[in-house]
């Protein structure tokens, strides 16, 4: 394959709401460049990008793909991304290494929620952006409405470069106001006929051309002066000004497309190679140590791994961008995360499912390699001895949790290996081995994300079967009134016996509570519990009723019972335990005796102290279109939500509520179904709060019923 230097590489990421036409546009680009002789279609399941069986079954992209094409002396790396927010991790990873984003807008629906979500990500990375209004050949296509919504959502920096002459079923003509040319396409699409702009459109084209020039000049003082002097800008000046404005995230040029009919893709590709910034045009990367890293093929070798995917016939592939230097097979590079040396055995450029070996990749290029044993997503590999570690991608927090276990006895280790592989490939999947809940829990982004995880596990091994269930809730237990109790542990069975007697007072603890009345505090221990809350342990023994050496054993007995509360087996929190009296035997008293006595005295007191179950409560923020607020609020109220208010965030209505975690299990799929995917949500732990009495009764009954079943 032809080797490309840094100045002739462009890296673009195709973005958009599901169904906006990203994969179809990819097919056009490959076809226009001559890399394929026939454009694949979603309907026929034969696109170069969506080559996985699951994607062909579902009819949409699930994973981001790396492809490349050559266009007029440039190599264009294309990253096709999924459109559902469940797969935001792949979108963020692609944006991290792209130099230009192409956001597709569906002319039938305007700016959809997926586009808004993606725009937030592009703002985070300050990615230069091109907008493309697609599906202009469809009956309900409305270009003007889509442009108005784009400016409303993304700002007035959206500038029209092209507009359609005849959107709708007969669409075949685009007017380009940058080049002041009219393009008319044949029925089958492809290369258009270049024509002068027809007289009826001349005034509109001139006006848009002037607006484009003024927008470009308005972001560059030098060009502004030239514009005032001459009243116009030359085409080359406009190109340079537009590139600079895109890099600064000041202008977002807008194009026209019918990807399905292959109308407009060639002109878009021409704009990408002529104007869109390449890696050498972008500001240098900044290392974690604060050093600038220019995109220089002669610089120290440095690459960043943004994606890992495992395929059965070749193993684990690591996808990366070269940020400095030139990478060649045989190189040994240091992992910035742990200092381990990795050898680059092979280099590939990627075209969907095809892996094409190459001898080198220069700074700015994107490629893949295999058999990196100790390298993960977000790792930087650089020249040994250099401190060039780059900032990691910040992936979104999970929104859904599911418990998983092996369906077949003996497959536990195989399942664990498969889950670890899924987590290695997808950093938005988190694995938790919960000792408290006695479950293995997968945290992910939603129902669609979970379906992909299940597919991956099934394909890891043909005979692997996993069962999924609702995860248990990490409840807590506490008390509401003070109680005194005592317990004598006495055991005699020949030889030395066991004896320990403990008197204690157990109280609900709160910050700033005074010392107990009528008792002398001789020792105080305060413990911030691993599971939240506090235990305060007071020694108020007088007269040596219990030897000091037995107090740690009493404390250990209390702590053991706090790990498994008497109501539901949940952790106990926020209690104060006061040991104020007891008895011991000169021969039979020992640590185990006082541990048991302390445990049982605490258990008795806890059960009499008006015990209360606490549940985790989250602040849930839902972002939705205004017309969806009523149904969303009604649904939240069925989930025991306490509404805290409404606001706006960007172009969304923001609904804020406090909702128990127990009611959020299926919320991701419910919200998507209720709003047709037009809303999104996030949740953050807020506090532990008391459950309603009827819920407490149900939880206690369920706990004892399960315990009785297990004993039977």
Whole-model pTM: value is 0.88
Which of the four pLDDT bands, split at 50, 70 and 90, describes residue 497? Answer: confident
Question: For residues 156 and 251, what is the distance between their CA atoms, to the nearest angstrom?
Answer: 9
Q: Give the residue, 669 or 600, on which the prediction is more confident.
A: 600
Which pLDDT does position 494 carry in this prediction? 66
CA-nearest of 547, 535, 537 to 501 is: 547
Whether the Cβ atoms of residue 616 and residue 578 lie closer than 8 Å to each other:
no
Which of the four pLDDT bands, split at 50, 70 and 90, describes residue 33? Answer: confident
Domain stops at, among 274, 309, 338: 274
Whether residue 604 is predicted with pLDDT greater than 90 in this model: the reply is: yes
| Coil vs helix vs strand at 63 | coil
**In the block, residue with structure tokens 């007191």:** 605
Contacts (Cβ under 8 Å, ≥6 apart) of 54 = 62, 452, 455
Whether the Cβ atoms of residue 174 and residue 208 lie closer than 8 Å to each other:
no
Domain stops at, among 211, 242, 274: 274
- Domain range spanning residue 549? 477-610
Mean pLDDT over the full length of the chain: 92
- What pLDDT digit, counting tens, does each position of 275-324 carry? 999 999 999 999 999 999 999 999 999 999 999 998 777 778 999 999 99
Q: Give the residue, 38 or 598, on which the prediction is more confident.
A: 598
- What pLDDT digit, counting tens, does each position of 526-556 carry? 999 999 999 999 999 988 899 999 999 999 9
Strand residues in 353-418 grouped as ranges (E):
354-357, 361-362, 366-370, 380-382, 400-406
**CATH code, 538:** 3.30.230.10
**CATH code, 629:** 3.30.70.240
DSSP letter for 184, please.
E
The verdict on residue 113 lying in a domain is yes
Whether the Cβ atoms of residue 1 and residue 355 lie closer than 8 Å to each other:
no
The verdict on residue 699 lying in a domain is no
Please state the rounded mean pLDDT for residues 322-344.
96
Question: For residues 172 and 136, what is the distance between their CA atoms, to the nearest angstrom?
Answer: 9
Which pLDDT does position 453 carry in this prediction? 93
Which pLDDT does position 138 carry in this prediction? 95
DSSP structure string for 449-516: HHHHHHHHHHHH-TT--EEEEPPPP--EEE-SS-EEEEEEEEE-SSSS-EEEEEEEEEEE--TTPPPP
Please state the rounded mean pLDDT for residues 92-107.
97
* 413 and 376 assigned to the same domain: no
Which of the four pLDDT bands, split at 50, 70 and 90, describes residue 708? Answer: confident
* 31 and 153 assigned to the same domain: yes
Whether residue 712 is predicted with pLDDT greater than 60 in this model: the reply is: no
Which pLDDT does position 129 carry in this prediction? 97
Q: By percentage, how much of the chain surpasses pLDDT 90?
A: 74
Whether residue 116 is predicted with pLDDT greater than 60 in this model: the reply is: yes
Which of the four pLDDT bands, split at 50, 70 and 90, describes residue 139? Answer: very high
Ranking 99-103, 120-124, 308-312 by mean pLDDT, the lowest is 308-312
* 586 and 536 assigned to the same domain: yes
Whether the Cβ atoms of residue 87 and residue 668 lie closer than 8 Å to each other:
no
Which pLDDT does position 2 carry in this prediction? 62
* 584 and 639 assigned to the same domain: no
Question: For residues 427 and 494, what is the distance between their CA atoms, to the nearest angstrom?
Answer: 60
Please state the rounded mean pLDDT for residues 682-699.
95
Whether the Cβ atoms of residue 350 and residue 367 lie closer than 8 Å to each other:
yes
CA-nearest of 25, 94, 5, 34 to 268 is: 25
* 650 and 574 assigned to the same domain: no
Question: For residues 419 and 405, what is the distance between their CA atoms, to the nearest angstrom?
Answer: 11
**In the block, residue with structure tokens 């690591």:** 318
* 93 and 239 assigned to the same domain: yes
Strand residues in 52-121 grouped as ranges (E):
65-71, 74-80, 100-106
Question: For residues 614 and 315, what is the distance between their CA atoms, to the nearest angstrom?
Answer: 47
| Coil vs helix vs strand at 236 | helix
* Token pair in block for residue 430: 């988190």
Contacts (Cβ under 8 Å, ≥6 apart) of 511 = none
Please state the rounded mean pLDDT for residues 39-65.
85
Whether residue 689 is predicted with pLDDT greater than 80 in this model: the reply is: yes
Please state the rounded mean pLDDT for residues 592-603.
96
The verdict on residue 214 lying in a domain is yes
| Coil vs helix vs strand at 549 | helix
The verdict on residue 23 lying in a domain is yes
Please state the rounded mean pLDDT for residues 108-129.
90
Other CB atoms within a 10 A radius of the CB of residue 621 amount to 18
The verdict on residue 101 lying in a domain is yes
Whether the Cβ atoms of residue 133 and residue 252 lie closer than 8 Å to each other:
no
Please state the rounded mean pLDDT for residues 672-693.
91
The verdict on residue 395 lying in a domain is no
* 595 and 553 assigned to the same domain: yes
* 315 and 235 assigned to the same domain: no
The verdict on residue 623 lying in a domain is yes
Whether residue 463 is predicted with pLDDT greater than 80 in this model: the reply is: no
* Token pair in block for residue 97: 């290494």
At 183, phi and psi to the nearest 5? -110, 125
Which pLDDT does position 407 carry in this prediction? 87
Which pLDDT does position 364 carry in this prediction? 96
Q: Give whole-number Cα distances, 230 to 145, 206, 381, in Å.
A: 34, 16, 51
* 260 and 366 assigned to the same domain: no
* 47 and 156 assigned to the same domain: yes
Whether residue 592 is predicted with pLDDT greater than 60 in this model: the reply is: yes
- What pLDDT digit, counting tens, does each position of 370-420 carry? 989 999 999 999 999 999 999 999 999 999 999 999 988 888 888 998 999
The verdict on residue 279 lying in a domain is no
* 582 and 623 assigned to the same domain: no
Question: For residues 305 and 97, what is the distance between their CA atoms, to the nearest angstrom?
Answer: 9
Which pLDDT does position 570 carry in this prediction? 95
Locate all alpha helices (DSSP H) within 103-234, ordered by sequence: 113-125, 143-154, 199-217, 221-230
- What pLDDT digit, counting tens, does each position of 167-191 carry? 999 999 999 999 999 999 999 889 9
* Token pair in block for residue 697: 């009764």
Domain stops at, among 421, 438, 472: 472
Question: For residues 510 and 533, what is the distance between their CA atoms, to the nearest angstrom?
Answer: 10
Which pLDDT does position 608 carry in this prediction? 95
Question: For residues 437 and 414, what is the distance between their CA atoms, to the nearest angstrom?
Answer: 22
- What pLDDT digit, counting tens, does each position of 650-681 carry? 778 999 999 999 999 989 889 988 988 778 89
Which pLDDT does position 672 carry in this prediction? 87
**CATH code, 463:** 3.30.70.870
The number of distinct structural domains making up the chain is 5
∠ CA 307-312-313, rounded to 5°: 105
Torsion sign across C-alpha atoms 265, 266, 267, 273: positive
**In the block, residue with structure tokens 């106990």:** 572
* 246 and 315 assigned to the same domain: no
Whether residue 71 is predicted with pLDDT greater than 90 in this model: the reply is: no
Torsion sign across C-alpha atoms 615, 648, 88, 389: negative
Which pLDDT does position 1 carry in this prediction? 55
């Amino acid at each position: 394959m032809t080797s490309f230097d840094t100045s002739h590489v462009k890296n673009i990421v195709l973005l958009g709401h599901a169904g906006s036409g990203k994969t179809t546009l990819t097919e056009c680009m490959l076809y226009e460049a001559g890399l394929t002789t026939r454009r694949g279609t979603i309907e026929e399941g034969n696109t170069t990008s969506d080559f996985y069986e699951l994607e062909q079954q579902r009819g949409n992209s699930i994973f981001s793909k790396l492809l490349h094409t050559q266009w007029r002396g440039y190599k264009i790396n294309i990253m096709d991304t999924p459109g559902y927010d469940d797969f935001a991790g792949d979108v963020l990873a692609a944006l991290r290494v792209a130099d230009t984003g192409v956001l597709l807008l569906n002319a039938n629906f305007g700016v959809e929620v997926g586009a808004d979500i993606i725009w937030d990500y592009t703002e985070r990375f300050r990615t230069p952006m091109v907008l493309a209004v697609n599906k202009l050949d469809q009956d309900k296509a409305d270009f003007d409405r889509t442009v108005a919504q784009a400016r409303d959502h993304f700002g007035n920096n959206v500038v029209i470069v092209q507009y359609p002459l005849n959107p709708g079923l007969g669409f075949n003509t685009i007017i380009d106001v940058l080049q002041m040319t009219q393009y008319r396409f044949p029925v089958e699409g492809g290369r258009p006929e270049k024509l002068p702009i027809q007289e009826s459109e001349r005034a509109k084209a001139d006006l848009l051309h002037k607006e484009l020039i003024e927008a470009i000049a308005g972001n560059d003082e030098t060009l502004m002066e030239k514009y005032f002097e001459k009243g116009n800008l030359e085409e080359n000046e406009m190109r340079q000004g537009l590139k600079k404005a895109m890099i600064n995230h000041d202008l977002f040029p807008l194009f026209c497309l019918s990807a399905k009919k292959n109308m407009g893709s060639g002109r878009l590709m021409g704009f990408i190679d002529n104007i869109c910034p390449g890696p050498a045009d972008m500001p240098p990367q900044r290392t974690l140590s604060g050093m600038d890293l220019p995109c220089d093929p002669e610089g120290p070798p440095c690459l960043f791994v943004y994606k890992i995917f495992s395929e059965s016939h070749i193993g684990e592939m690591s996808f990366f961008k070269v940020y400095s230097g030139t990478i060649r097979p045989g190189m040994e590079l240091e992992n910035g995360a742990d200092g381990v040396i990795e050898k680059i055995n092979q280099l590939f450029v990627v075209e969907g499912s095809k892996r094409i070996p190459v001898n080198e990749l220069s700074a700015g290029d994107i490629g893949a390699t295999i058999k990196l044993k100790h390298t993960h997503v977000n790792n930087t590999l650089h020249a040994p001895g250099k401190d060039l570690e780059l900032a990691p991608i910040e992936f979104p927090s999970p929104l859904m949790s599911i418990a998983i276990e092996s369906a077949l006895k003996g497959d536990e280790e195989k399942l664990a290996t498969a889950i670890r592989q899924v987590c290695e490939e997808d950093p938005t999947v988190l694995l938790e081995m919960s000792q408290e809940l006695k479950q293995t829990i997968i945290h992910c982004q939603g129902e669609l994300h979970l379906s992909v995880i299940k597919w991956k596990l099934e394909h890891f091994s043909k005979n692997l079967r996993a069962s999924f269930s609702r995860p248990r809730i990490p409840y807590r237990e506490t008390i509401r009134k003070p109680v005194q109790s005592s317990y004598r542990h006495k055991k005699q069975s020949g030889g030395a016996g066991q004896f320990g007697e403990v008197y204690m007072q157990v109280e609900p603890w709160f910050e700033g509570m005074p010392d107990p009345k009528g008792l002398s505090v001789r020792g105080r221990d305060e413990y911030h519990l691993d599971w939240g809350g506090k235990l305060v342990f007071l020694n108020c023994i007088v007269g040596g009723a219990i030897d000091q050496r037995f107090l740690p054993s009493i404390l250990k007995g209390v702590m053991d019972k706090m790990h498994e509360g008497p109501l539901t087996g949940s952790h106990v929190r926020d209690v104060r335990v006061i040991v104020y009296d007891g008895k011991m035997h000169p021969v039979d008293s020992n640590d185990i005796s006082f541990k048991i006595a302390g445990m049982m005295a605490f258990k008795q007191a806890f059960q009499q102290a008006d015990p209360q179950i606490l549940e985790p409560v989250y602040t849930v923020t839902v972002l939705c279109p205004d017309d969806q607020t009523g149904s969303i609020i009604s649904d939240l109220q069925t989930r025991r939500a306490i509404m805290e208010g409404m606001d706006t965030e960007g172009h969304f209505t923001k609904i804020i509520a406090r909702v128990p975690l127990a009611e959020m299990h299926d919320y991701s799929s419910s919200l998507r179904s209720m709003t047709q995917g037009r809303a999104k949500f996030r949740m953050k732990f807020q506090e532990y709060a008391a459950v309603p009495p009827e819920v407490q009764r149900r939880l206690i009954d369920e706990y004892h019923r399960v315990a009785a079943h297990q004993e039977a």
